[in-house]
Chains A and B, each alone.
Chain A
Amino acid sequence: MTTDVHQLDDGAWISVNDSREVNVSDLWLLARSDFCGCETTDFLAEGFVEVGVDYPDIQARIAGQCIACGESGVTDWLTVGRVVDPDSGEFYGVVHESVHFPEKRTRLANAKK
């Protein structure tokens, strides 16, 4: 089956296969990011702007701000979880408190794969 991913309710959460999986209001630690000048960005997720699938990763660009320096904006693509087996559709979320590395996309993401 295809993996169906979208953001809903004004970007409040990410739905993966019709299940609410990732919510705003969590803090994410971002490293090797040019989001702000901090060594690691202590990033508050305020809204999911774009979502996509880069199998097996579920990725998102998130609007929010660094709560250490106050810089606000939209991140590059972040992996928010994985659907390893598209047939089962089971979503494995990442631990948002761990360190994450946003990356610029080199190819287009599709909402479905």
Chain B
Amino acid sequence: MPSKVEKWKDEVYGNEIREHLMEFAEQGWDAIPEDEHDAWFERFKWWGLYHQRSGQESYFMMRIGTPNGVIKPGQLEVIGEVAKEYASGPADNPEFGDAYCDWTTRQSIQLHWIKLEDIPEIFEKLEAVGLGTQQACGDSWRNIVGCPVAGKDKHEHVDAWPVAEDLHETFKGNDDYSNLPRKWKVAIAGCDEGCGQGDINDLAFEPAEKDGELGFNVRIGGGLSRKEPRLARDIDVWVPPEQAADVAHGMSTLFREHGDREDRFNARIKFLMDEWGPEKMRSVLQEEYVDFELETAGEDMRDQYSYNTGSQDGHNDHVGIHEQKDGNYYVGLNVLVGRMGADDVIELAELADEYGSGEVRLTQRQNIIVTDVPEENLDAFTSEPLLEDYSPEPSPFMRGSIACTGTEYCSLSIVETKNRQVRYARWLKDNVELPEDHKDFHIHLSGCTASCAQPQIADVSLRGMKTRKDGEPVEALDIGLGGGLGDDPRFADWVEMRVPADEVPGAIKNLVNNFEDAREGGETFRDFVEDRDEETLAEMVEPEETDYHDPYMHNTKMTWYPYAEDDDMQSSPAPTDGSGEPLPSDD
């Protein structure tokens, strides 16, 4: 029997949701019939709106999809202004203030505390500069990810940006693909560094050469969510750039028709890949969903991949100053846990205009890149005071940090994440020395098994948990080690479970010291982990209290907002009306 979500989708879904959304926004929060809340909130996701968690009713997270992370000249200023005007809630965040943008691991943008009544104005402002929220969430083509410096990169073999843009234009708002069984995540990259992270996407196009022609090999069925991580599998198909959209049409139609609509937990294509295997996937694609002969796979470039390989060579992220193929430079700025205050966003937009072309790009490591900076502008740009906070040369612990949304706003998360990871990174920077030859060290903190912070592909993986300390329940983290991508991608080994959150920095310090003592020759951390069994590794992670202080040990999910002075659920002002005033309760 189709799931309840499928029933709601059958009634109203896709583009037509907008008309209803606008009507509700016009009339106000109360206009949504109470017995239709769940159905409408499920549908609103398709237009990039996610109802915030319990205690924050009537407020939405808004996601803006920026394909390949490209934010064109003029757009960043509008994003910052929208955040400043509309993304303020009833309480401040102690680290980030009251209006900010989150750059996500899928090169998108998230704003919080958005009120239903403000949505028409926000859409108008975003759409006036070519931005939008369509299909940013929901069961459809999500934001397309890729190498964030596509078209600029010296390591590029195929310019994947026009292909990504074509896929975006073809599949966004297209009724044929608007109602898929589940989300559909696509990655495309043309560089030889592997920064498209195709291995963890439903559909991946990776650069490959066939008979002297450059195009893409196709992989299917990657993803990290729940406790079911999968690497995308090679289906032995190569396509030239001009046919990428045809294969993408074939694959997403196959998913639309064969994906599981009865059990949402089994709906992603990775489970169909489990069932069918790559050979059947290819043959069904060939026989039923494309009308030309598929080429067999070309020669890929995976043996050159350096991104997130732990090799300490090449590109492990896009932070720093790098020459583009046109002789200009791109400057990758570190944004700790991806969160940037609205005023800072507006200031960066001005700097990007002044020193570069005005374009910026988002990375899958929650950072931001200012592109097209002429060499003569580099010194002045990097001397700007804003870059003291968003540095192109950060500590490895700052640049390696990724965190998901966490219990601040998310229903699924078990623990607080962003502020905690900020505190971890600062403490580690001040208290831990990595070996001299380790400049990259990735720590990803995800609040739950949904894995939005991609914990399984980090050097140190942290995942939200609970434990008891002195008999009292406290927030805790599972610790995994040695994950990463590259030619030989590998998910982390979970070696130490349920570590109280205030003992995690001490555990990482001890781990790094033990690694330095026990490593052989120039062994990298990732090789070190791969070469040792879980028991040995677990002994090297020695959780310990230190002078690190964690203010979020209590059950942050039980609060209406973890940082409010009175955080009790009963003290929540939500739901509120369009001006933020609490609405009368039914009780």
Interface string of A1-17 (1 = CB under 8 A from B): 00010101111110101
Contact of B407 (CB < 8 Å), options: A8, A17, A25: A25
Pick from B33-41, B188-196, B247-255 the stretch touching chain A.
Answer: B33-41
A111 near B54: Cβ-Cβ < 8 Å: no
Contact of B38 (CB < 8 Å), options: A12, A18, A25: A18
From A20, A24, A49, A111, name the one whose CB has the most chain B CB atoms within 10 angstroms. A20
B466 near A24: Cβ-Cβ < 8 Å: no
Residues of B within 8 A of A30 (CB): none
**What interface size band does chain A fall in?**
20 to 34
* B264, closest chain A residue (CB): A10
Min distance, Cβ A96 to any Cβ of chain B, angstroms: 11
Knowing A17-B35, A111-B4, the reply to whether A70 touches B498 (Cβ < 8 A) is yes
A25 near B450: Cβ-Cβ < 8 Å: no
From B407, B466, B473, name the one whose CB has the most chain A CB atoms within 10 angstroms. B466
CB proximity to A under 8 Å, residues B24-55: 34-38, 42, 53-54
Q: Does A33 contact B (CB under 8 A)?
A: no
Residues of A within 8 A of B4 (CB): 6, 111
Residues of B within 8 A of A25 (CB): 407, 413-415, 466, 555, 557
From A4, A25, A72, name the one whose CB has the most chain B CB atoms within 10 angstroms. A25
Query: Given the complex of chains A and B, what is the CA–CA distance between A13 and B56 in angstroms?
Result: 14
**What interface size band does chain B fall in?**
35 or more
Min distance, Cβ A48 to any Cβ of chain B, angstroms: 11
Query: Given the complex of chains A and B, what is the CA–CA distance between A111 and B38 in angstroms?
Result: 15
Contact of A67 (CB < 8 Å), options: B449, B465, B557: B465
Residues of A within 8 A of B413 (CB): 25
Residues of B within 8 A of A67 (CB): 465-468, 476, 498
Min distance, Cβ A20 to any Cβ of chain B, angstroms: 5
Q: Does A76 contact B (CB under 8 A)?
A: no
Q: Does B518 contact A (CB under 8 A)?
A: no
A18 near B36: Cβ-Cβ < 8 Å: yes
* B45, closest chain A residue (CB): A9
Min distance, Cβ B445 to any Cβ of chain A, angstroms: 16
Knowing A23-B557, A25-B557, A67-B466, the reply to whether A10 touches B412 (Cβ < 8 A) is yes
Residues of A within 8 A of B290 (CB): none
A44 near B465: Cβ-Cβ < 8 Å: yes
Min distance, Cβ A98 to any Cβ of chain B, angstroms: 14
Query: Given the complex of chains A and B, what is the CA–CA distance between A80 and B42 in angstroms?
Result: 23
Task: List the 4 closest pairs (A to B, CB-CB), nearest first.
Answer: A12-B411, A12-B412, A25-B557, A18-B37
